[in-house]
Amino acid sequence: MSAQIIDGFEIARQERERVARETALLKEKGITPCLAVILVGENPASVSYVTGKEKALAEVGMKDKSIRLPESTTEQELLKIIDELNNDKSVHGILVQLPLPKHIDEEKVIMAISPEKDVDGFHPVSVGNMMIGKKSYLPCTPHGVLVLLKTMNIETNGKHAVIVGRSNIVGKPLAILLARKEANSTVTICHTGTKDIASFTKQADILIAAVGRPNTITADMVKPGATVIDVGVNRIPDDTKKSGFRLVGDVDFDSVKEVASFITPVPRGVGPMTIAMLMHNTLEAALNTLEEK
Ligand code: L34
Q: Ligand 1 mean position to 164 CA, how many Å?
A: 18
Most ligand 1 atoms within 8 A of CB, residue of 55, 119, 138, 274 to mutate:
274
CATH superfamily placement of domain 30-114: Leucine Dehydrogenase, chain A, domain 1 (3.40.50.10860)
141 has a pLDDT exceeding 60? yes
pLDDT, tens digit (0-9, with 9 covering 90-100), for 213-243: 999 999 999 999 999 999 999 999 999 999 9
Report which protein residue has its CA nearest ligand 1's atom 18: 49
CA–CA distance, 267 with 18 (Å, rounded to integer) = 22
CA–CA distance, 101 with 74 (Å, rounded to integer) = 9
CA–CA distance, 184 with 66 (Å, rounded to integer) = 37
Judge contact between 18 and 278, C-beta under 8 A: no
Same fold: 30-114 with 140-271: yes
pLDDT, tens digit (0-9, with 9 covering 90-100), for 26-51: 999 999 999 999 999 999 999 999 99
Q: Domains of the chain: which residue ranges?
A: 30-114, 140-271
CA–CA distance, 41 with 31 (Å, rounded to integer) = 31
CA–CA distance, 215 with 196 (Å, rounded to integer) = 16
Kindly tell me the sign of the dihedral angle through the C-alpha atoms of 238, 233, 154, 167.
positive
CA–CA distance, 178 with 143 (Å, rounded to integer) = 10
CA distances (Å), 264 to each of 9, 127, 152, in order? 10, 26, 11
Architecture of the domain whose range is 140-271: 3-Layer(aba) Sandwich (3.40)
H or E stretch at 237: strand 234-237
Phi, psi of 282 (to 5 degrees): -65, -40
128 has a pLDDT exceeding 90? yes
Report which protein residue has its CA nearest ligand 1's atom 4: 97
The pTM is what? 0.98
pLDDT, tens digit (0-9, with 9 covering 90-100), for 74-88: 999 999 999 999 999
Report which protein residue has its CA nearest ligand 1's atom 11: 98
Most ligand 1 atoms within 8 A of CB, residue of 49, 82, 123, 280 to mutate:
49
Which residues form the pocket of ligand 1, taking CB atoms under 6 Å from any ligand atom? 48-49, 52, 95-98, 120, 140-141, 233, 247, 266-268, 271-272, 274-275
Q: Single out the residue of 203, 152, 195, 157 nearest to residue 179, CA to CA.
A: 157
Report which protein residue has its CA nearest ligand 1's atom 14: 49
Question: What does the DSSP 8-state code read for residue 205?
Answer: S
